[in-house]
Structure 1
Amino acid sequence: MPMSPTETVTHAAQHLEPIISDLGLILMTAGIAVLIFKKLKQPLVLGYLIAGFLAGNHIDFFPSVTDNKSVEVWAEIGVIFLLFSLGLEFSFKKLMKVGGTASITAITQILSMTIIGYMVGQWIGWGKMDSLFLGATLSISSTTIIIRAFDELGVKGKKFVGIVFGALIVEDIVAILMLVLLSTVAVSDQFSGTALLQSVLKLVFFLIIWFLGGIFIIPTFLKKAKHLLTDEMLLIISLALCLMMVILAANVGFSPALGAFIMGSILAETTQAEKIEHLIQPVKDLFGAIFFVSVGMLINPQTLITYAIPVAIITLITIFGKATSSTIGALLSGQPLKQSIQTGMSLAQIGEFSFIIATLGMTLKVTSDFLYPIVVAVSAITTFTTPFLIKFSDPFSEYLEKKLPRKWVKNINRYSVNAQAIKSVSVWQIVLRSYITQIVLHTIIITAAIILSSKFVAPLVEDTRFGNTLAALLTLVVIAPFLWALSLRRIAVNEVEILWEERKYRGPIMMMILIRIALGLFYVGFLLNIFFSPLVAFIALIIAIAAYQFFPKKLNEQYHRIENHFLKNLNDRETTKIDRKYANLTPWDGHMSIFEIAKESNLAGKTLEELKIREQLGINIAFIKRGDITIQIPTKTERLFPGDEICVIGTDAQINEFTEYLNKNDIEIPKAVEESEIVLRQLELADSEFLQKSVSEFRRKTNALVVGIERNGKRILNPESNLTLEKDDIIWVVGDKKRMKQFVKKV
């Protein structure tokens, strides 16, 4: 029997009520945590975790959620938007620019902590899967906590910060890879090398396809629609793209979080990236708070009491293990002892990705119930210790330099200088890298096009007479420019000519050329075999190769048009904003740092010659960025203006001195500013001290502005300053309400 409208509404309300009340409780606890922890000057993440812990079902004193399922849904949405915002800060181009130092540091730390974590889990007596997930959670540091700590401590201008940021970028992409690999291990319940390799290849395949396709299409779309995009529309489109990629990732067997991260990294390459990041910030803050509070709600205090000793052991191993392994990684990459220790002590915590990895194990039901609260507890403790470790890393490195044997310090410094000197790449390496990149990228593009054609085009034409021929021809036309680039395009021309003169390189070069041609023929044959029988496919292959010879120029032009469009989209943001995070002068302590001239600064309007910054502080200004204009190597006559970004080169000590110099030259704004209310008053001049005084004299004495005079029935708007005030004038005055009361008595 159908329900009445009243019953329908009541029924809907019963289903909505737990979701709304639980969300309200989560946001209320998050809001209280923000206020308390902001006042205590502690990281908000820690506040969210504790607030969630107190609001969870395990503690009866506070209001608790009624439906754990709805909390899990909100938490999953929180993960999606958290990783989307991380992707916006990430970008694959930054990964390419990170360099060896950060990569070696991050990989050394990840491998060390994964092995240590697994061994500790086994030592405690945990199962293999619990130990594996423990190692994975301990290997990833927290970007959110580190950035917040750097901001609070004011160390962003120091040299080691660039290494830390680079290491975090590498860790982010490794964490994504870990999510895929752990999912594979969890599903198969065994450490199968073949399954892991397939997962890695599948991930690489889809990452490259999504990145290439996304960069080719999305920036173009945003540029074309720029004049139509209001802030509201841009926010909606960004979130829509994020969720579309989430659906796509889920459909091909990856986690939704991966899709969100990938779309964020694609949008990070667009010229709208900063604007999108700004618009997404409130959404990220909202759902980030929901996620962290939800994480806290899942902590069982009884579990923490039972596993207090493992929590203490794992916390100590996290702090000392990550600090030591990151320091060793930085030393291996050729960094001096001081920067290596500062880097290591900054990375000694776990955070958001650790929660996501722990959540994955819990969702797949392959880890024990105790692992999740243990990871959260360790994260909470290391969140609290991170600012102190960063703060004391500088004096600790100086102390260690004094205490270590002089021979050790000397050898470390010599190794650092030598490692920085070995930066040259051989000509053969350049050629080999170019050929491998060309083969991998175009192989993936062609494979993706053929798979799409076989899945979506072939089924539509299988029962038609000429459908197969038309579909094969259409697919061949689409992939033709990429086939040409794969098999015949000349790569690293100058380097190949240099190597060709040496007889020993001629064989390898010819082999690589033949491999490329063979791959091109294989893909043409593979495509034709989908639509035709082997015999017909072979005949069609011969015809295709013959036809292929007639259009090399056209294919060349078409490919370069596609490539130029892609590169333009990829580099558009770089042309408007210089990427300068990781520049440094090694083996010296000198490096680049960016500062902004405040609107209230006393330096604004002065020339570099007047300021004498180099003479006083010993630093150089590399460039001044003013809006979209960059003034490179500014001359002494160049002036500084409010809002200018200046890039200075100096040591850590000089950068610190320059920071103090900037702060000293900022105009002091009074903390207690007396509120004023500007009002418009009408006054009549009868017997007054202002009679026969000019308008300018009236203004000087009263600090009020005469905006109108009525005299003998005539009105004068905005009178001249030399006009004399006469008896019986009615004047309109604008001024401060309190001050006006004082001189009204005189009128």
Structure 2
Amino acid sequence: MPFYSLSQNAIHLPGLITDLGLILITASIAVIIFKKLKQPLVLGYLVAGFLAGNNFHFFPTVEKTHDVSIWAEIGVIFLLFSLGLEFSFKKLTKVGGTASITALTQIVCMVLLGYTVGQLMGWTNMDSLFLGVILSISSTTIILKAFEELGVKSQKFAGNVIGSLIVQDILAILMMVLLSTVAVSSQFSGSELIFAILKLIFFLILWFILGIFFIPSFLNKAKHLLTDEMLLIISIALCLLMVIFAASAGFSPGLGAFIMGSIIAETTESEHIEKLIKPVKDLFGAIFFVSVGMLINPQTLVTYYVPVIILTLVTIFGQSISSTIGSLLSGQPLKQSIQAGMSLSQIGEFSFIIATLGLSLKVTQDFLYPVVVAVSAITTFTTPYMIKFSTPFAAFVEDKLPKRWVKQIERYSAYTQAIKPTSLWKSYIFDYTRQVTINTVLAVAIILLSRFYLLPFTEELKLPFSSIITALVTLMFLLPFLWAISLKRINKEAVQSLIQERKYRGAIIIMFIARMLLSVFLIGFMLNKIISPFFGIIMFFLAIFVYITYTKQINQFYYRLEDHFLKNFKENGKESKPKIERQNLTPWDGHIASFVVPCDSVFSGHTIEDLKIRERFGINIAFIKRENKTVYIPSKTELIYPQDELHVIGTDLQVNEFKKYLENHLISTDNSDMEIVLWKLDIKNTSFVNKSIKDSLIREETNGIIVGVEHNGHRMLNPKSSYILHDSDVVWIVGDKNKIKSFIEE
């Protein structure tokens, strides 16, 4: 049949499917090539996008870029959802001051530097502002991949870098929201910006509290019902539900995805969900990066080659220097500060997302996007080399700096890393702020829900005194949180000690009065939103009466809610375990590194005493994670099992020696020459007669399995090891052909 008749009968595919096929085919070829060249896959996706885009005409090109942009937006959602799964609010509390100071210093310096460079190049205020934010965020994906490929993930500076990236991720989300507000209002300060920040804080706290309260409980109770397929669908559904909530509240969809990911990260199913969601994230993430590459216009790059070169140098040197300064300020030694700074010298996925935000809001010019992509591509390529040469460069700087400077840095580092007791006053302030803020957010949320949903519902039903009914229902839900704001004791031990000191006594009394006034204000706010002033006064005194009469019941109800939340957040459905402050476990140059024992490691099945780990490598095992169990400070008789996660304390040199030994000393499992066969063995006139299968040692000698025995015409499948072999028996063995033949010949 001629091709013409085939083409006439061909079914027309929608452009979305053909474009998606073209994108994935191009991406597949590009990533294989880049994997072979040992380059980051992100670069492969960018090149694939460039080849599949409308700006490159030597290959088939994508027809409808609008359809691809929809796929790319889904990719952003899943990228941020996955980052949220890796993020976890608990991780943020554990990264400590080192990572926080490093990240804040880097971001502030780079935002100011980027904005200044943009202004010097004659760009608009909005282009310059977006540029500053774009240049301030390092790439989590690229750095972690480079650490893995270079084998430096176990070194101390790598832990500081990862902690800094966690802080950067949450700050990037915050800056995206603020940029959206600034772009819409065209203001850099003022009431709208302050309101946007307060609104963001309000929704972050509300979503986090409600998410931790409900989602872990739901997943724990439904755990025995959930298959992998169901868990994947539920996870994506929760992600998209939060995306809808975020968009309805006026935030970017990515914020909702990130928040839901961080909430699920606090559940017992977080690691399982992360594995299930990874293929989905990889697929849509690839489409997103390819869509970024499609926007690369060679003519634009030729026109703006000078800004590309300038911004590349600003990124590499600015990120390195600002991160190094931040790490030094946080108290890290000079060597580790330089290593951390040079590792953070690139921009990546968040920079693309922020640049996309500027384009979608139509507040940045078209040239900014391809310029940012070009800078990211170059700095992605240079990242492994910056990490590799950071150690010799740190040694060079340490050698060239005046000795008294180096000594001062060492003294400052030793002082800041010393464990200092937290003052009772700081502890009280922290607990006070947390309790008042959380309960105020919940109270305001209840009031707003009643005002905008419950009141219209009661009015629609045409109930008599609908506003009074709404106010009563709202008040009933509010009372536990009003009690927590006004009367619940805060850090009782700290207050009892501080009240004895005159300088704190007045402040504590004022702070207590402030709590009472805040609860009164919230009642007034609720009544003003729902009911008239006259009935409001009556309801106010009614609230006080109910409050006094049912104090005990209100207290008990609140504590049940609080206990449920803390159980989900702290215990996370797992066994109770002691708190480990990793940053305080390692003095001087020591740090904790983790290693997984391979299944074929020579360590498997031996005790710590037999392996002589401390004597041979100079390291100590702090604890061992084994499935759902953790062995803290293991004894010398503790056995090491395959897939154990060893958390060891040592210096970079000691840890590297241990890592090399663990990787290079494996039990040989090369069975490529083995031929597995089913072999028939006649027992007659052999030494096995009247012996049990176990005592005959047939299994051990042949390295095989006895799968059947024939006895007087009867056949037994998988006989017991206690079966006595008889002279007339025939045994069937599954094993290596060469070993069985050798055994029979003997």
User: Which residue of the partner structure matches residue 662 of structure 2?
Assistant: 662
User: Which residue of the partner structure matches residue 408 of structure 1?
Assistant: 405
- Which SS does the other structure have where 2:595 is aligned? strand
Contact 2:220 2:573 in 1 (8 A): no
User: Which residue of the partner structure matches residue 469 of structure 1?
Assistant: 468
- Which SS does the other structure have where 2:365 is aligned? coil
Instruction: Please show how residues 546-695 of structure 1 align to structure 2 within 5 Å.
Output: 546-573=545-572, 575=574, 582-585=582-585, 588-670=588-670, 673-674=671-672, 676-680=674-678, 692-693=685-686
User: Which residue of the partner structure matches residue 343 of structure 1?
Assistant: 340
CA distance in 1, matches of 2:166, 2:330: 16
Aligned residue identity for 1:485: A
Select 1:386's aligned residue among 383, 387, 390. Answer: 383
Instruction: Please show how residues 446-461 of structure 1 align to structure 2 within 5 Å.
Output: 446-461=443-458
Aligned residue identity for 2:165: L
Aligned residue identity for 1:565: H
Contact 2:268 2:574 in 1 (8 A): no
Residues 103-144 of structure 1: CA distance to partner in whole angstroms, max 9, x if unpaired? 110010001111111111111121111111111100000111
| Matched residues, number | 725
Q: Which moved more, 1:733-742 or 1:555-564?
A: 733-742
CA distance in 2, matches of 1:267, 1:697: 52
Residues 72-110 of structure 1: CA distance to partner in whole angstroms, max 9, x if unpaired? 011001001111000000112222222111111001000
Alpha-carbon spacing, 1:546–1:42, altered in 2? closer, same or farther (3 Å)? same
Alpha-carbon spacing, 1:366–1:724, altered in 2? closer, same or farther (3 Å)? same
Residues 19-43 of structure 1: CA distance to partner in whole angstroms, max 9, x if unpaired? 0001111111121122212222211
User: Which residue of the partner structure matches residue 489 of structure 1?
Assistant: 488
Tell me, yes or no, if structure 1 residue 128 matches structure 2 residue 131: no
Instruction: Please show how residues 424-435 of structure 1 align to structure 2 within 5 Å.
Output: 424-435=421-432
Contact 1:707 1:732 in 2 (8 A): yes
CA distance in 2, matches of 1:581, 1:391: 29
**1:572: Cα distance to partner?**
2.8
User: Which residue of the partner structure matches residue 310 of structure 2?
Assistant: 313
Alpha-carbon spacing, 1:711–1:110, altered in 2? closer, same or farther (3 Å)? closer
Q: Which moved more, 1:585-594 or 1:372-381?
A: 585-594
Q: Which moved more, 1:301-310 or 1:318-327?
A: 301-310
**1:297: Cα distance to partner?**
0.9
User: Which residue of the partner structure matches residue 290 of structure 1?
Assistant: 287
Residues 310-339 of structure 1: CA distance to partner in whole angstroms, max 9, x if unpaired? 111111110110000000000011111011
Alpha-carbon spacing, 1:62–1:458, altered in 2? closer, same or farther (3 Å)? same
User: Which residue of the partner structure matches residue 6 of structure 1?
Assistant: none
Residues 447-478 of structure 1: CA distance to partner in whole angstroms, max 9, x if unpaired? 01100000001112345323222221111111
CA distance in 1, matches of 2:467, 2:717: 84
**1:226: Cα distance to partner?**
1.0
Aligned residue identity for 2:532: S
Select 2:41's aligned residue among 38, 41, 44. Answer: 44
Instruction: Please show how residues 267-278 of structure 1 align to structure 2 within 5 Å.
Output: 267-278=264-275
User: Which residue of the partner structure matches residue 528 of structure 1?
Assistant: 527
Alpha-carbon spacing, 1:595–1:495, altered in 2? closer, same or farther (3 Å)? same
Select 2:296's aligned residue among 279, 299, 312. Answer: 299
- Which SS does the other structure have where 2:179 is aligned? helix
CA distance in 1, matches of 2:397, 2:61: 49
CA distance in 1, matches of 2:49, 2:588: 47
Alpha-carbon spacing, 1:597–1:713, altered in 2? closer, same or farther (3 Å)? closer
Aligned residue identity for 2:539: A
User: Which residue of the partner structure matches residue 232 of structure 2?
Assistant: 235
Identity %: 61
Contact 1:625 1:646 in 2 (8 A): yes
Alpha-carbon spacing, 1:544–1:579, altered in 2? closer, same or farther (3 Å)? closer
- Which SS does the other structure have where 1:636 is aligned? coil
Instruction: Please show how residues 79-94 of structure 1 align to structure 2 within 5 Å.
Output: 79-94=76-91
- Which SS does the other structure have where 2:667 is aligned? coil
**1:509: Cα distance to partner?**
0.9
CA distance in 2, matches of 1:90, 1:234: 20
Give the root-mean-square deviation of aligned CA atoms.
Answer: 2.8
Alpha-carbon spacing, 1:538–1:47, altered in 2? closer, same or farther (3 Å)? same
- Which SS does the other structure have where 1:583 is aligned? helix
Contact 1:693 1:724 in 2 (8 A): no
Alpha-carbon spacing, 1:573–1:43, altered in 2? closer, same or farther (3 Å)? farther
CA distance in 2, matches of 1:96, 1:166: 10
CA distance in 2, matches of 1:716, 1:422: 69
CA distance in 1, matches of 2:199, 2:614: 54
User: Which residue of the partner structure matches residue 693 of structure 2?
Assistant: none
- Which SS does the other structure have where 1:637 is aligned? coil
Q: Which moved more, 1:322-331 or 1:586-595?
A: 586-595
CA distance in 2, matches of 1:353, 1:600: 39
- Which SS does the other structure have where 1:624 is aligned? strand
Alpha-carbon spacing, 1:545–1:722, altered in 2? closer, same or farther (3 Å)? closer
Contact 2:567 2:573 in 1 (8 A): no
Residues 176-197 of structure 1: CA distance to partner in whole angstroms, max 9, x if unpaired? 1111111111111232332211
Q: Which moved more, 1:354-363 or 1:733-742?
A: 733-742
- Normalised to the residue count of structure 2, the TM-score between the two structures is 0.92
Contact 1:416 1:587 in 2 (8 A): no
Aligned residue identity for 2:650: G
Q: 5+ residue gaps in structure 2?
A: 1-7, 689-695
CA distance in 1, matches of 2:191, 2:352: 28
- Normalised to the residue count of structure 1, the TM-score between the two structures is 0.91
User: Which residue of the partner structure matches residue 541 of structure 1?
Assistant: 540
Contact 2:709 2:731 in 1 (8 A): yes
User: Which residue of the partner structure matches residue 7 of structure 1?
Assistant: none
**1:708: Cα distance to partner?**
5.6
Aligned residue identity for 2:618: G
Q: 5+ residue gaps in structure 1?
A: 1-9
Instruction: Please show how residues 12-27 of structure 1 align to structure 2 within 5 Å.
Output: 17-27=14-24
**1:215: Cα distance to partner?**
0.5
Instruction: Please show how residues 55-66 of structure 1 align to structure 2 within 5 Å.
Output: 55-66=52-63
CA distance in 1, matches of 2:202, 2:352: 27
Contact 2:622 2:634 in 1 (8 A): yes
Aligned residue identity for 2:109: S
CA distance in 1, matches of 2:644, 2:536: 64
User: Which residue of the partner structure matches residue 140 of structure 1?
Assistant: 137
Select 2:351's aligned residue among 342, 351, 354. Answer: 354
CA distance in 2, matches of 1:490, 1:189: 45
Aligned residue identity for 1:641: Y
Contact 2:701 2:743 in 1 (8 A): no
- Which SS does the other structure have where 1:666 is aligned? coil
- Which SS does the other structure have where 1:549 is aligned? helix
**1:714: Cα distance to partner?**
6.6
Alpha-carbon spacing, 1:506–1:625, altered in 2? closer, same or farther (3 Å)? same
